[in-house]
Amino acid sequence: SFSADGSVVAVASFGRQVQVIDLDSSKRPRAISIERSRVTATAPTPDGKQLVIAAADGTLSLVDLNQPSSRRALANHPFAVWTMKFDQTGRFAAGSWDGTVRLWDTSSWELIQSVKAHQESVCAILLGTQGMLTAGMDGRVFYLPSELPSKSPRGLIRGPNDPVWITTFSPDGEQ
Q: What pLDDT was estimated at residue 153? A: 57
pLDDT of residue 175: 55
Average pLDDT of the segment spanning 52-72: 88
Q: What's the pLDDT score for residue 148?
A: 52
Q: Which residues contact 40 (CB under 8 A, 6 or more apart)?
A: 14, 54, 55, 56, 80, 81, 82
CA distance linking residue 117 with residue 155, whole number of Å: 11
Q: What angle do CA 99, 53, 61 make, to 5 degrees?
A: 95
92 in Cβ contact with 102 (< 8 Å): no
